[in-house]
A and B are shown apart, each in its own frame.
Chain A
Amino acid sequence: MPSGAAATVNCPKCRGALTGALCNLPEPVPCPACNATILVEVFPAFFRSPVTGQTAETLIEEDAASCFYHEHKKAVTHCEACGRFLCALCDVDLGGQHLCPTCLQAGKRKGKLATFDTTRTLWDTSALVVCLAPVIIWPVVVVTAPIAITLAIVSFFKPGSIVPRTRLRALLAIALSVIELLGWYYTFFIVES
């Protein structure tokens, strides 16, 4: 949305600069340039100047704590994960949590920092799909149903979606898979014999 050196509020269609009178209105209004019906809500962050990075202070006093990574820089805080002293340069503020770059990297790698989660596998949905999809060629359910049950059980132990979600899919997958297996057994063993 910001354009050029000075940030302007632009029409979402024609990208023409809008006047203040067209912003933060309760109802949509037509853009004076392209006549598209638009709804524009601007927030104070739009006018905030970019945040500049911190600079570490050089250690002057002999007995003052120094940064673990930069011995000549003054420590301003400590890492909440490993306890190492950190200078302003090494202090990573992650949603109010102060971490050192090493712990940040380790947390990201091990998946301990939910903030860095960008994708998750939905084991319960996978179980339900594996259970339901092969029904049209249903004799194969003898193979797919155990897989679906396994996936459903895995979903109870593996981290699933980060948003609220019920266990219904997993339970449904287990129930349907068991029914499929019973149906298969009934058809191929009891009816045949």
Chain B
Amino acid sequence: MPKEAPIYHRLPGRGAGFGETSRLYLADDHLLLVTATGFTENYRRFYLRDIQAITARKTVTGAVTNGIVGFILFWMVVGLLNASSWFELFVWSAVVGFFFVLLLVNILLGPTCLCEIHTAVQSRRLGSVNRLRTARKLLARLRPVLEAAQGAVPVEELRQRVDQARQQGFVTDAPPVIR
């Protein structure tokens, strides 16, 4: 009965939350969201034919992190400038270097985002995609795969259909008129 095990390819992005890490993998017919919680791994499958949309929105997490790390770095630099011995100078330099690298890495990784995958029955956050740049990379990788699974529709036609659905939605969802 068992079919041949699917071959998984790792997709861009890696996320870490409270005691868990998540990664996204691509198989022939589905995406696999793997959430590792120390001793176990939890799996969630999204079949390519069912994926309706992928959305990402920019969050302030990256900017807030930059602010906090920048603030700490400022005071560390103040400490470094007031160092009175070689030992203090060494310790402060190490701490300043650490926070500087942290800030630099966070800036280079770009703005943070919250990415979601939507099917007809669920919307799920993709914990592995938490940078806008990663989201763009992921979409670039998935676009041809999803087109192959669902059939290619020109972008203009998709946009027209979105507009039509929006119009229809306004008509259907309009509140009742009280006369």
Contact = CB atoms under 8 A, between A and B. Distances in A.
A28 B57 CA distance: 8
Interface stretch (B12-20, B43-51, B72-80): B43-51
B169 A6 contact: yes
B168 interface: yes
Residue of A23, A43, A45, A119 with highest tally of chain B CB at under 10 A: A43
Residue of B55, B132, B159, B173 with highest tally of chain A CB at under 10 A: B55
Given A4-B173, A20-B161, A50-B120, A43 B8 contact: no
A172 to B, nearest CB: 16
Q: How large is the interface on A (under 10, 10 to 19, 20 to 34, 35 or more residues)?
A: 35 or more
Contacts of B23: 163
Interface string A31-54: 000001111111111110010000
Contact of A5 (B5, B45, B51, B172): B172
A-B pairs with lowest CB-CB distance, top 8: A20-B159, A37-B58, A20-B162, A1-B118, A6-B168, A46-B52, A81-B1, A8-B169
Contact of A103 (B1, B6, B39, B123): B1
Given A12-B55, A37-B57, A40-B53, A120 B40 contact: yes
A47 B1 contact: no
Residue of A7, A41, A50, A117 with highest tally of chain B CB at under 10 A: A41
A114 B155 CA distance: 35
A7 B164 CA distance: 10
A1 B45 contact: no
Contacts of A75: none
Interface of B is mostly: mixed
A24 interface: yes
Contacts, number: 173
Given A103-B1, A119-B42, A163-B25, A24 B155 contact: yes
6 contacts: A12-B55, A39-B57, A45-B50, A47-B165, A120-B40, A163-B10
B158 interface: yes
Contacts of A50: 120
Contact of A120 (B41, B53, B123): B41
A121 B40 contact: yes
Nearest to A112: B2
Contacts of B162: 8-9, 18-20, 23, 42
Contacts of A95: 3, 29
A39 B135 contact: yes
A149 interface: no
A77 interface: no
Contacts of B39: 121-122, 125-126, 129
A118 B43 CA distance: 5
Interface string B145-166: 0100011010100111111011
A113 B150 CA distance: 25
A142 interface: no
Contacts of B36: 122
Interface in A139-192: 161-164
